[in-house]
């Protein structure tokens, strides 16, 4: 009996290793890797928590790997076949790079830009094929959304729109929530939440006609509470919840919804030195006397200096994000969530199960890079 158990255990271990390797190979994308690994690890740990014998633990683990393989078998990419995709926020960053990537793959692409005469729009016209149409599209302007919709309908006609990628967004001025002017909160919500919702509502009939894909670019900050990101993260959290709700609602129409939650990547969202200087003045102009006394002007000036350096600590390689967006657009069974970036998937999962006090401590120690304190909290020598 012991010999049988030993042989069976080793057999299950071999099957586990083989199936596990296949499963992990099927999930090469950064956004696809975290969830399956954590799920399997949790199942493995649960087996031990239930004090199952090693043999049955291995059996359970093998079955879970088998399930993953069967699930991932349907994740091959669908043919492009002249599918049409609308991407917002294509002046720079993810949107700009995504348009060029999709164009090379053969998609018909509508590139929404904030400034159709800007350098980003001109570069797309110059470098892309005739399959790319650049559209003037401020996502906070209903008239521009309506005009873009008319141009898309004229081109796709009865085929509908295969995918909408809501990418346009702004960062705002990262600083303590108390110091962020209400107009900044409203602007972040307008661009990062109400804008994508408005675009989604306008183009959903075309997506339903094609049984296509809705891909919303949220953020790691939409799932993890990070100091000084109150305006940005609140808007992204709202977008993530909106996406989860419409994912359920649109399933009956055959439309699949995915959320991309990137970590820190170097895009145009970080702004320029001039933008940070203007935002700094805006913050100072709206401070109450008590706030200026307690925080001090040096605190705001230091934050401006730190904001200008954000790009230097971000990943310049956008390919993990582009790869996940492509998968969300093209896979037969796209994932509901993608988390491109180093340790992003782990952080997002950890934030959902971690005790609040421990999460706050870890965020402060690991994710908060700036420890400059307000004037009133300086400890005298």
175 in Cβ contact with 228 (< 8 Å): yes
Res 165: pLDDT: 98
Q: Which residues are known catalytic residues? A: 232
Q: Which residue has the higher pLDDT, 149 or 306?
A: 149
187 in Cβ contact with 241 (< 8 Å): no
Res 234: pLDDT: 97
**Tokens 């796709």 belong to residue:** 156
The pLDDT confidence band at residue 327, using thresholds 50, 70 and 90, is very high
Is the pLDDT confidence value at 4 over 50?
no
Across 89-103, 114-128, 239-253, 340-354, least confident range: 340-354
What's the Cα-to-Cα distance from 122 to each of 60, 150, 191, rounded to whole Å? 56, 22, 23
**Tokens 């570069």 belong to residue:** 123
Across 171-180, 280-289, 295-304, 363-372, least confident range: 363-372
34 in Cβ contact with 346 (< 8 Å): yes
What sign for the dihedral angle of Cα 175, 181, 184, 189?
positive
Delineate the domains of the chain, giving CATH numbers in brackets.
Answer: 2-72 (no CATH), 84-367 (3.40.50.720)
* Encoded tokens for 219: 């953020």
Q: Which residue has the higher pLDDT, 358 or 76?
A: 358
Res 30: pLDDT: 41
DSSP letters, 283-345, are: HHHT--HHHHHHH-HHHHHHHHHHHHTGGGGSB---HHHHHHHHHHHHBSS--SEE--STTHH
What's the Cα-to-Cα distance from 203 to each of 160, 172, 209, rounded to whole Å? 9, 27, 10
The H-or-E segment that residue 222 falls in is none
**Tokens 């209903």 belong to residue:** 142
Res 370: pLDDT: 66
DSSP letters, 33-50, are: HHHHHHHHHHHHHHHHHT
Give the model confidence (pLDDT) of 313-322 as tens digits: 778 889 999 9
The pLDDT confidence band at residue 46, using thresholds 50, 70 and 90, is low
Instruction: Please give the torsion angle defined by the CA atoms of residues 268, 273, 277 and 283, in that order, rounded to the nearest 10 degrees.
Output: 40
310: left (phi over 0), alpha (psi -120 to 50) or beta: alpha
> Angle, to 10 degrees, between the axis of helix 142-156 and the axis of helix 195-210?
20
| Average pLDDT of every residue of the chain | 84
Res 58: pLDDT: 61
Give the model confidence (pLDDT) of 158-201 as tens digits: 899 999 999 999 998 889 999 999 999 999 999 999 999 999 99
* Encoded tokens for 149: 């919709």
Nearest to 282 by CA among 161, 144, 172, 363: 172
Give the model confidence (pLDDT) of 237-289 as tens digits: 999 999 999 999 999 999 999 999 999 888 877 777 788 888 889 999 999 99
The pLDDT confidence band at residue 23, using thresholds 50, 70 and 90, is very low
Res 25: pLDDT: 44
The pLDDT confidence band at residue 368, using thresholds 50, 70 and 90, is confident
Mean pLDDT of 135-155: 97
Is the pLDDT confidence value at 71 over 80?
no
Nearest to 280 by CA among 179, 139, 370: 179
CA distance 96 to 83: 19
Nearest to 110 by CA among 140, 87, 90: 87
* Encoded tokens for 377: 């909290």
Is the pLDDT confidence value at 29 over 50?
no
Is the pLDDT confidence value at 377 over 50?
yes
Mean pLDDT of 64-77: 59
Res 22: pLDDT: 47
Res 82: pLDDT: 87
Q: Which residue has the higher pLDDT, 212 or 17?
A: 212
């Amino acid at each position: 009996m012991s010999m049988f158990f030993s042989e069976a255990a080793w057999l299950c271990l071999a099957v586990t290793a083989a199936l596990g390797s296949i499963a992990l190979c099927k999930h090469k994308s950064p956004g696809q890797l975290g969830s399956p690994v954590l799920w399997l690890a949790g199942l493995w740990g649960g087996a031990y928590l239930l004090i199952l014998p090693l043999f049955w633990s291995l059996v359970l683990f093998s079955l879970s790997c088998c399930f993953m393989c069967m699930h991932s078998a349907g994740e091959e990419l669908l043919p492009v076949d002249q599918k049409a995709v609308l991407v917002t926020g294509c002046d720079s960053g993810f949107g700009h790079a995504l348009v060029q990537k999709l164009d090379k793959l053969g998609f018909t692409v509508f590139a929404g830009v904030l400034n159709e005469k800007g350098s980003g729009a001109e570069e797309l016209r110059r470098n892309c094929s005739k399959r790319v149409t650049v559209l003037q599209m401020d996502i906070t302007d209903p008239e521009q959304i309506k005009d873009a919709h008319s141009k898309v309908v004229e081109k796709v006609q009865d085929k509908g729109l295969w995918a909408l990628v809501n990418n346009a967004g702004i960062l705002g001025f990262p600083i303590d929530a108390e110091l962020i002017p209400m107009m900044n909160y409203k602007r972040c919500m307008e661009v990062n939440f109400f804008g994508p919702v408005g675009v989604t509502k306008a183009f959903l009939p075309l997506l339903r006609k094609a049984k296509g894909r809705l891909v919303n670019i949220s953020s790691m900050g939409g799932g993890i509470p990070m100091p000084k990101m109150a305006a940005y993260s609140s808007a992204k959290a709202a977008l993530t919840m909106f996406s989860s709700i419409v994912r359920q609602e649109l399933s009956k129409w055959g439309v699949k919804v995915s959320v991309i939650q990137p970590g820190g990547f170097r895009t145009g969202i970080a702004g320029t030195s001039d933008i940070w200087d203007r935002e700094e003045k805006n913050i100072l102009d709206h401070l109450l006397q008590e706030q200026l006394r307690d925080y001090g002007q040096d605190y705001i000036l230091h934050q401006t200096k730190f904001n200008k350096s954000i790009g230097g600590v971000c990943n310049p390689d956008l390919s993990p994000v582009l790869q996940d967006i492509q998968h969300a657009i093209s896979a037969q069974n796209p994932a509901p969530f993608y988390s491109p970036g180093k340790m992003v998937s782990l952080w997002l999962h950890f934030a959902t199960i971690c005790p609040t006090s421990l999460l706050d401590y870890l965020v402060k120690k690991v994710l908060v890079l700036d420890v400059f304190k307000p004037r009133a909290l300086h400890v005298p020598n």
